[in-house]
């Protein structure tokens, strides 16, 4: 959808966006990235058998859909791990066994991810590191702070897919700080007599004021304001 003349040009942002063309690295963990997690010591994949509903194991020689987790990004280094059947990895505290039994994410389903190339440490928000036990369980009782050698708390994270799916992931990838730069750019353009801008329009605007998760309401009102402010 586009509008002619001076002022705004409204266009639907493509559903599939190539991250690298937008200067968002292909190795970055954006919202919606699908990953596999492999224990360095056991050389086995972390698995949510049947797509969730029970304790997570570290016992698979080769990955399938049970070993793929979709990341819900909370912050730059904080994520929630969603299984193929929509369950979230969860842990109640120090010494617990990680399970894939949560229907919706909260604090106990949120994990910090420390990265060193393709190696990662995963820890709870209370600071307890996950480790792969000799018995093939994923627990939070690793002692001390792990190094990046082959130890029970160090995993290989393999990115299976990290295509951006529209405006939400695009904004998530750039981060909220980019808004300040956009405002600065807009002021610069205005000072130099440039008064035409493009406004990306997402499909979820049609569902305002209550669009489906993870989108939030208010976009339609902002779009109406843009028209009223247009010269």
- Domains of the chain (ranges, CATH numbers): 8-23+165-229 (no CATH), 34-161 (2.80.10.50)
- Alpha-carbon separation of residue 22 from 16, 19, 37, 76, 173 (angstroms): 12, 5, 27, 18, 10
How many CB atoms neighbour CB 44 within 10 A? 19
Assign 6 a pLDDT band (cuts: 50, 70, 90): very low
* pLDDT value of residue 226: 75
User: Which among 67, 146, 75, 69 has a CA at the least distance from the CA of 110?
Assistant: 75
Assign 17 a pLDDT band (cuts: 50, 70, 90): very low
* pLDDT value of residue 171: 59
DSSP state of 48: -
C-beta separation of 114 from 77 below 8 A = yes
pLDDT at position 148 over 50 = yes
Assign 222 a pLDDT band (cuts: 50, 70, 90): confident
pLDDT at position 53 over 70 = yes
Query: For the residues 185-214, what does the mean pLDDT come to?
Result: 76
* pLDDT value of residue 187: 80
How many CB atoms neighbour CB 177 within 10 A? 7
Instruction: Please tell me the pTM assigned to this model.
Output: 0.67
Cα separation, 223 vs 227, in Å, equals 7
| The two three-digit tokens of residue 154, written as one number | 């160090």
C-beta separation of 69 from 37 below 8 A = yes
* pLDDT value of residue 111: 96
pLDDT at position 186 over 90 = no
DSSP state of 164: B
Query: For the residues 35-61, what does the mean pLDDT come to?
Result: 97
Q: How many CA atoms lie within 13 A of 98 on its CB side?
A: 34
Burial 7-16 (b: 16+ CB within 10 A, else e): ebeeeebeee
Assign 71 a pLDDT band (cuts: 50, 70, 90): very high
Secondary structure of residue 140 in the 3-state scheme: coil
Cα separation, 231 vs 229, in Å, equals 6
Query: For the residues 87-114, what does the mean pLDDT come to?
Result: 94
pLDDT at position 204 over 70 = yes
Cα separation, 4 vs 13, in Å, equals 18
């Amino acid at each position: 959808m586009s509008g002619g003349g001076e002022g705004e040009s409204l266009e639907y942002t493509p559903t599939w966006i190539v991250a690298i063309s937008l200067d968002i690295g292909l190795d970055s963990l954006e919202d919606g990235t699908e990953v596999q997690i492999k224990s360095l010591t056991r050389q086995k994949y972390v698995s949510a058998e049947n797509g969730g509903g029970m304790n997570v194991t570290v016992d698979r020689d080769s990955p399938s859909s049970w070993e793929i987790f979709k990341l819900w990004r909370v912050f730059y280094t904080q994520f929630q791990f969603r299984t193929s059947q929509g369950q979230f990895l969860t842990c109640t505290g120090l010494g617990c066994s990680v399970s894939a039994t949560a229907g919706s994410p909260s604090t106990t389903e949120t994990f910090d991810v420390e990265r060193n190339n393709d190696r990662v440490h995963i820890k709870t928000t209370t600071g307890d590191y996950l480790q792969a036990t000799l018995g093939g369980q994923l627990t939070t009782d690793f002692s001390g702070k792990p190094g990046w050698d082959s130890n029970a708390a160090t995993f290989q994270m393999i990115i299976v897919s990290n295509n951006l799916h529209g405006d939400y992931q695009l904004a998530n990838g750039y981060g909220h700080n980019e808004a300040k730069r956009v405002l600065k750019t807009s002021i610069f353009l205005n000072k130099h007599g440039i008064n035409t801008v493009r406004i990306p329009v997402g499909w979820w605007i049609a569902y305002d004021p209550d669009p489906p998760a993870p989108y939030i309401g208010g976009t339609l009102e902002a779009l109406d304001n843009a028209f009223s402010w247009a010269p």
